[in-house]
Structure 1
Amino acid sequence: MTLVDLADGLPQLRLGPGDALDRGALRGTALVLVSDGLVVVRTTFPGSTRRMITCHAGAGSLVLPPENGEVLFALTDAALVPISLLVRDEMLSSRESARLLADGLEETLRQKQGTIVSLSRLHHVDRVREKLTELAREHGRVGRDGIRLDFPLTHDLLGEMVGSARETVTRALDELQREGFVVRRGRIYSVKLEPEQLTTS
């Protein structure tokens, strides 16, 4: 059984690419399960145009509902299952369901810790390389150019993920393309790694 199986029959919210949900739209929600698609948690800062992506979640992932200044932002068509406090407590009463919830939250926490470590890198090209590897591991598909990221990845979006300015990300991607680490076709990127390398990267 998976988290998606566990939430089967619960109401879903459908989002299109670029749609966002704020705290008010998910009032009374304890957890949010991504049953399909890819969403990110985007944070804005009062009095600033700066934005930061603190988490990305694909099918089967759990995230907390957004706090003030945060939104859940869809990068692709997505389906979300809001899990209320009552439903969460019912799930926790079952050992198997509780284990699935704990495992899902553990994965989300591990990703957030990885993001913090990556942001400590002094060289922006290393931040971008690590983020692309992480995205390939969690959301990529094997293609002719390596592991393909099947969602539009703009320089602005990648900058929000790694805490760098758009121009800095552009220079980092240029360097990674010269190295042969990444291949770009339009707005779709592929990371030149073998699938087995992702388990140890």
Structure 2
Amino acid sequence: MTYAASRDADHESNWPRGSYLGRLSEAALDDLLALGRPRRFEPRDLLVRQGDTDRHTLLLLSGFTKVTATAQNGLESLLAIRLGGDIIGEMAAVGDMPRTATVTACGPVTARAVPHETLRAFLLRRPDAAVELTGIVSERLRWANNRRLEFRGYNVKERLARILVDLAASHGRPGRDGVELGFTLTQPELAALTGAAEPTVHKALKELRDAELIVTGYRTTTVRDLDRLREEARLLPSDLD
């Protein structure tokens, strides 16, 4: 797994290749990071709110956020997480629609806020960046569809393993003991992502730790054996493309 060097003094030194900023060419990245204005968010601050009609995009430079949505009956669901290198709010920016989810800072977050007209102009003059953004949107939709299918086709431990493999591929960084995710999801958050009860997720998480597939610590989770975790997730080679 490789990483893209950053060009802003106020964020992490690199971004995973799976993130939007990590996929851009050096020229496109320099162009994009010159747009908009810097923003800082404190823990529990809302970056965007479901239903709002503002249309700017946020480029996450550092930090950890969670994406949630609330149904009409008031039930809140955790949909995804977003970290440094990710783009937030692109659907509202290019699709002229209200925000479909709320994004909340889980710690200190730095970002750049780019007006929707500015983003559109950037994508028009940088078709390579537009292609990468299309790929990001497509992958997110596929990820959401896969989660729905997995609720019926796989047990909780397999679903949890699949989520951890996905996170390692998109946001993992090589560390001393394996692939470090750089964050730790709470058990309620993992339960929401896997569509399972919290005690069941607790049991599955313990089994993965006992098998030495993962290690959880303060503010980080490390995948110690990615190949074995893929086997636990029942992932086929075609699922890893």
TM-score (normalised: structure 1): 0.79
Distance 1:145 1:93, change over 3 A: closer
- 1:184 correspondence with 2:219: no
The 1:194/1:181 distance shift into structure 2, 3 A limit, reads: closer
Equivalent-residue separation in structure 1 for 2:28 and 2:34 (angstroms): 10
Aligned match of 2:40: 14
> What are the within-5 Å matches in structure 2 for residues 167-182 of structure 1?
167-182=199-214
Moved more, 23-32 or 183-192: 23-32
Assess if the C-alpha contact under 8 Å between 1:43 and 1:69 holds in 2: yes
Q: Write the distance in 2 (CA, Å) between the matches of 1:194 and 1:168.
A: 22
Query: 1:132 offset after TM fit, Å?
Result: 1.0
- CA displacement at 1:117 relative to structure 2: 1.1
Identity across aligned pairs (percent)?
Answer: 21
Aligned mate of 1:44, from 50, 61, 70: 70
Q: Give matches, 1:1-201, under 5 Å.
A: 1-3=27-29, 5-23=31-49, 27-53=53-79, 55-64=80-89, 67=98, 70-94=101-125, 97-121=126-150, 122-186=154-218, 188-193=220-225, 201=240
Instruction: Name the CA shift for 1:76/1:169 in 2 (closer, same or farther; >3 Å).
Output: same
The CA deviation at 1:134 is 1.5
* Comparing 109-118 and 124-133, the one that deviates more: 109-118
Gaps of at least 5 residues in structure 2 are 1-26, 93-97, 231-236
Name the CA shift for 1:123/1:98 in 2 (closer, same or farther; >3 Å): same
Distance in 2, matches of 1:61 and 1:4, equals 16
- Aligned partners of 1:77, 1:25: CA distance in 2, in Å? 24
TM-score by length of 2: 0.68
